[in-house]
Amino acid sequence: MSVTIKDVAKKAKVAPSTVSRVISDSPRISQQTKEKVRLAMTELGYHPNYHARSLVNQSTRTLGVIMPSSPKGAFQNPFFSEVLRGITAKASVDKFGLYLSTGQSDDEIYDDVQQMVFSRRIDGIILLYSKMNDRIIPFLLKEKFPFVLVGRPADQFHEQVYYVNNDNFKAAKMVTEYLLLLGHKRIGFIGGELDQIVTVDHQRGYESALEHSDISVNKKYLIYNNEGVLEDSQESLIELMAHKPSPTALVVADDLMALSVLRLLNEMGLRVPEDMSIVSFNNIMLSQLTLPPLTTVDIHIYELGFIGTEKLINMINQKEQENETIIPYRFIKRQTCKKQNI
């Protein structure tokens, strides 16, 4: 069908192996024949066949990207577009291709992963989420397949998996301390999904800060956002606010959730930051567009993706490296926090 290495060989009057060597620019081929072969290649419009190459090389130069299941709405979060931007950028400079998981449920995603590794379609995997009790990480570990996690693995895998993460514990502790410093005593916590590691870290940071200030953690002030990003959190927030005395400040796991909170508080007739202070996480583009603009923690999502990909490529190339990389965060003070009068 399409033009192969043999056609080029014939045209250039050399052996196929010679053509192959010209393609890889082997030094053991004379300049003369190189030019001759290259001429034949362009004249015939030759392009190497990817599958034939991968088959013989046992390497694909493509990376698998595993997204969380999309119906839950997680994918709607700009977080993922932004990591993907970082991944894409690094993959591009190192000439790696990207293969995307398409599974719609946890089971399907697990199947995707199995398919990818068993069919030898990809050289490594970049995992965009980490949940408790997930089967993917144990599987990858068992298969000794190169992969990098964006996020932190559960404790039992701590030593074995390579990952990029923020210090979410410290970040959450810091923002809580900030609210404490502003004079807030009743601080609520709105976390992400309960089975995600990042939620655990956030909560521990939050609790740690309170304990250091000798404020006991009020369970009524803790809520989680279990399904998607919107509906559920609204209900929980109403419950939270109904509990008197209600908090004067909120630590919110995600800018998008913060936006949702902003909207609900507005409906309740509460003003931010006058009646309620809010700190959230991520610093997605949108967080500077809200009214008022969000005080948030920039976790450098793009870097998370970029560095994660770099780590993965290093693994594939058998380069020695630390198994953990912590991306620093940065506190972005905007207009959702205010000193609380005691």
Partner DNA sequence: TTGTATGCGTTATCAA
Partner DNA sequence: TTGATAACGCATACAA
Which residues form the interface with DNA (CB under 7 A)?
Answer: 1-2, 4-6, 13-18, 20-21, 23-24, 27-30, 32-34, 46-49, 52-53, 55-58
Q: Is the backbone of residue 58 left (phi > 0), alpha (psi -120 to 50) or beta?
A: left
Answer for the pair 86, 305: CB distance below 8 angstroms, yes or no.
yes
Q: Does 230 bind a second copy (CB under 8 A)?
A: yes
CA-to-CA distance for 39 and 33, rounded, in angstroms?
A: 10
Residue 97 binds which entry of a second copy, DNA, none, with Cβ cut-offs from 5 to 8 Å by kind? a second copy
Tokens 């559960």 map to which residue? 154
Answer for the pair 217, 211: CB distance below 8 angstroms, yes or no.
yes
Residue 286 binds which entry of DNA, a second copy, none, with Cβ cut-offs from 5 to 8 Å by kind? a second copy
In the chain, helix, strand, coil percent, each to 5? 45, 15, 40
Answer for the pair 181, 340: CB distance below 8 angstroms, yes or no.
no
Nearer to a second copy, 149 or 258 (CB): 258
Residue 69 binds which entry of a second copy, DNA, none, with Cβ cut-offs from 5 to 8 Å by kind? none
What distance, in Å, lies between the first and last C-alpha atoms of the chain?
A: 80
- Of residues 14, 19, 41, 65, which one binds a second copy by CB under 8 A? 65
Residue 75 Cβ vs a second copy, minimum distance, rounded to whole Å: 6
- Of residues 20, 33, 70, 325, which one binds a second copy by CB under 8 A? 70
Nearer to DNA, 40 or 66 (CB): 40
Residue 88 binds which entry of DNA, a second copy, none, with Cβ cut-offs from 5 to 8 Å by kind? a second copy
Residue 10 CB partners (closer than 8 Å, separation 6+): none
CA-to-CA distance for 118 and 145, rounded, in angstroms?
A: 10
Q: Are strands 62-66 and 249-252 parallel, antiparallel or unpaired?
A: unpaired
- Segment 151 to 180, residues that bind a second copy, using CB under 8 A: none
Answer for the pair 222, 202: CB distance below 8 angstroms, yes or no.
no
Residue 145 Cβ vs DNA, minimum distance, rounded to whole Å: 16
Residue 162 Cβ vs DNA, minimum distance, rounded to whole Å: 26
Q: Are strands 296-298 and 330-332 parallel, antiparallel or unpaired?
A: antiparallel
Candidates 162-170, 187-195, 288-296, 327-335; binding stretch for a second copy (CB under 8 A): 288-296
Q: Does 40 bind a second copy (CB under 8 A)?
A: no
- For 77, how many CA atoms within 13 A lie in the half-sphere containing its CB? 30
Nearer to a second copy, 102 or 317 (CB): 102
CA-to-CA distance for 22 and 41, rounded, in angstroms?
A: 10
Residue 253 Cβ vs a second copy, minimum distance, rounded to whole Å: 16
In three-state secondary structure terms, 60 is coil
Residue 146 Cβ vs DNA, minimum distance, rounded to whole Å: 18
CA 38 to chain centre: 42
- Of residues 88, 208, 218, 335, which one binds a second copy by CB under 8 A? 88
- Of residues 37, 140, 262, 297, which one binds a second copy by CB under 8 A? 262
DSSP string covering 140-170: HHHTT--EEEES---GGGTTT-EEEE--HHH
Candidates 26-34, 73-81, 149-157, 205-213; binding stretch for a second copy (CB under 8 A): 73-81
Nearer to a second copy, 108 or 211 (CB): 108
Which residues of the shown chain bind a second copy in the complex (CB under 8 A)? 1-2, 47-52, 54-55, 58, 60, 62, 65, 67, 70, 73, 75-76, 78, 80-82, 84-85, 88-89, 91-92, 96-100, 102-104, 108, 118-121, 229-230, 256, 259-260, 262-263, 266, 285-286, 289-291, 293
